[in-house]
Amino acid sequence: MQSVSSYVLSATGIDKIFPGARALNGVDFSLARGEVHALLGENGAGKSTLIKCLTGAYRRDGGRILLDGVDVDPHNTLEAQKLGIGTVYQEVNLLANLTVAENLFLGRQPRRFGLVDARAMNKQARALLSEYDLDIDVTAELSAFSVAVQQVIAIARAVDLSGKVLILDEPTASLDTHEVAMLFRIVRRLKERGLGIIFITHFLEQVYEISDRITVLRNGQLVGTRETAALPRRELIAMMLGRELVQEVGEAKHSETKAPGEARFRFRSFGRKGHIQPFDLDVASGEVVGIAGLLGSGRTETAEILFGAERADSGTAQADGRTLDLSSPRAAIREKFGFCPEDRKVDGIVGDLSVRENIVLALQARRGWARPISRSEQDRLADHYIKALDIRTSDREKPIRLLSGGNQQKAILARWLATNPEFLILDEPTRGIDVGAHAEIIRLIETLCENGMSLIVISSELEELVAYSSRVLVLRDRAHVAELTGEEVTTNAIIEAIASAHEGRPA
């Protein structure tokens, strides 16, 4: 047992009660100096709630928090920052209409003669981001950048702010391998400087790569804290789920390629200027096509024009020889398309509406306002998907914004499954979803495909892509540059395709 003073942060008996849900029940948590401490658990286990209690973003209902052996009680994130606790919350909470530099230095802008010294601020901002290999216009509005870039900016800000403790709540969810490596380099450096780092993630490889100790929560209760090195993966999963998991997704081998049937959906020189270069794409009924590429390579852009969120300005789209109208999401949905977007907070959830309403929204929109889905049918649909996808919520009438991140993600997926799509596009579908649910969702998707649904999956998780795609498209610089089929679909091949595509680019 270490003496109390060797802990930079130690919390005992933390309680948090929400109306209708007890999110934390007497949780103990301690963080040593110079350690990376992984905080794990299923979706809705209470991880985000615990760190919000630590930073004062939520008022805790009980328990003590000691920082360097002294009782502290931050009332909000700002106070926590002053105490030396920097945090990146699960949902990026920067200000979309301020510039990148302003976001980085909000509340602590360099001043000159009492005025904000914009030049100095922008210079410092560029220097700060260069550590992350991020060379962007720091005077542009934050909203101009992708979630991933925003995530890196949020991390850079938090790292810069944290004197003693750095908290990262699923920071890597939208990052690709390259950026994760970069983040870990920075984390290791901070660790050497003696910071305590709390790291929440659902990627177990990352846990084993970087963490020293692991704390597992389940249903708001502490399951245990263990040394990472002494905790085998299977046992860890059992601690998280409270049961053994038959097979993890990453373990699955590339599914034996079903001979892809006749192409059902045909896209020819489909593209949009300044968005994605024209590409050809054939998808058979029941086929899963993966899309890989680095951030900004045009993955999301591809999804957006396939779904009509951005209108294609060249090319044709056909299904069974019939020309499709993909001029707007509404039109695409009428063609039985579905699109589960990457940024769930901005493009996905309708926060104040209930879980039920969020699940039936797309189906209702397709039927039109004059043909309401009866309340009993809505209840049935919602209950069905809450059960099928294991959405953890106290009841179906809870506003969706009160659900944990992973459970929101599941509800958005349910919204699309409820429309019975024939062509479904999933942009980072399993982002933030725990190992148990992950396996369930993949299985569900596989069943749907067996029943004839065509699927496009965009993912930074290459193992996942390999596990279920029969083909993988590789994108670079907003163009489709390679296509891997059958035996070629392996993690290494994808990485190579991305990399070799990159060699061609002037440095």
Ligand X SMILES: Nc1ncnc2c1ncn2[C@@H]1O[C@H](COP(=O)(O)OP(=O)(O)OP(=O)(O)O)[C@@H](O)[C@H]1O
Which residues bind to another protein, rule: CB under 8 A?
12-13, 17, 19, 26, 28, 61-62, 307, 309, 329-330, 332-334, 339, 341, 346-353, 357, 361-362, 364-373, 415
The binder of 362, among ligand X, another protein, Mg ion, none, by C-beta within 5 to 8 A per type, is: another protein
The binder of 392, among ligand X, Mg ion, another protein, none, by C-beta within 5 to 8 A per type, is: ligand X
The binder of 261, among another protein, ligand X, Mg ion, none, by C-beta within 5 to 8 A per type, is: none
Q: How far is the CB of 369 from ligand X (least distance, A)?
A: 30
Q: Which of residues 16-45 bind ligand X (CB under 6 A)?
A: 18, 21, 23, 41, 43-45
- How far the first Cα of the chain sits from its last, in Å, is 52
Q: Which of residues 428-457 bind ligand X (CB under 6 A)?
A: 432
The binder of 339, among ligand X, Mg ion, another protein, none, by C-beta within 5 to 8 A per type, is: another protein
Q: In what order do the strands lie in the sheet with 423-427?
A: 337-340, 423-427, 454-458, 288-293, 471-476, 479-485
Query: What sign does the CA torsion over 183, 184, 188, 194 have?
Result: positive
Q: Select 138 or 173, whichever has its Cβ closest to ligand X.
A: 173
Q: Please report, for residues 164, 209, 465, the alpha-carbon distance to residue 251 in angstroms, rounded to integers and kept in the order given.
A: 37, 17, 12
E strands, 342-441, where? 423-427
Q: In what order do the strands lie in the sheet with 70-71?
A: 21-32, 7-18, 62-67, 70-71
Query: Rg of the chain's alpha carbons, rounded to an integer?
Result: 23
What kind and span of H or E run contains 238? helix 233-241
Q: How far is the CB of 47 from Mg ion (least distance, A)?
A: 5
Distance between CA 1 and CA 12 in Å, rounded?
16
Residue reference for tokens 């991140």: 405
Q: Which of residues 85-114 bind ligand X (CB under 6 A)?
A: 90
The binder of 329, among another protein, ligand X, Mg ion, none, by C-beta within 5 to 8 A per type, is: another protein
Q: Select 211 or 407, whichever has its Cβ closest to ligand X.
A: 407
The binder of 388, among another protein, Mg ion, ligand X, none, by C-beta within 5 to 8 A per type, is: none
CA 173 to the chain's CA centroid? 4
Asked whether position 208 contacts ligand X by CB under 6 A, the answer is: no
Find, among 450, 425, 431, 443, the residue nearest to 362 by Cα: 425
Q: In this structure, how many other beta carbons lie within 10 angstroms of the beta carbon of residue 100?
A: 28
Q: Select 124 or 404, whichever has its Cβ closest to ligand X.
A: 404
Q: Select 412 or 501, whichever has its Cβ closest to another protein.
A: 412
Q: How far is the CB of 59 from another protein (least distance, A)?
A: 8
Q: Select 122 or 358, whichever has its Cβ closest to Mg ion.
A: 358
The binder of 450, among another protein, Mg ion, ligand X, none, by C-beta within 5 to 8 A per type, is: none
Asked whether position 172 contacts ligand X by CB under 6 A, the answer is: no
The contacts of residue 249 (CB under 8 Å, 6+ apart) are 438, 439, 442, 463, 464, 467
Q: Please report, for residues 299, 307, 336, 492, 506, the alpha-carbon distance to residue 424 in angstroms, rounded to integers and kept in the order given.
A: 15, 9, 8, 26, 36
Q: In what order do the strands lie in the sheet with 36-41?
A: 85-88, 165-169, 196-200, 36-41, 213-218, 221-227
The contacts of residue 116 (CB under 8 Å, 6+ apart) are 109, 110
Q: Give the total of residues touching ligand X (CB under 6 A).
A: 21
Nearest-CB residue for ligand X = 406
Task: Judge contact between 381 and 360, C-beta under 8 A.
Answer: yes
Asked whether position 47 contacts ligand X by CB under 6 A, the answer is: yes
Binding residues for Mg ion (CB under 5 A): 48, 90, 404-405
Q: Select 10 or 48, whichever has its Cβ closest to Mg ion.
A: 48
- Of 402, 412, 425, 467, which lies in the binding site for ligand X, with binding defined by CB under 6 A? 402
The binder of 10, among another protein, ligand X, Mg ion, none, by C-beta within 5 to 8 A per type, is: none
Q: Binding residues for ligand X, per CB under 6 A?
A: 18, 21, 23, 41, 43-49, 90, 392-393, 402-407, 432
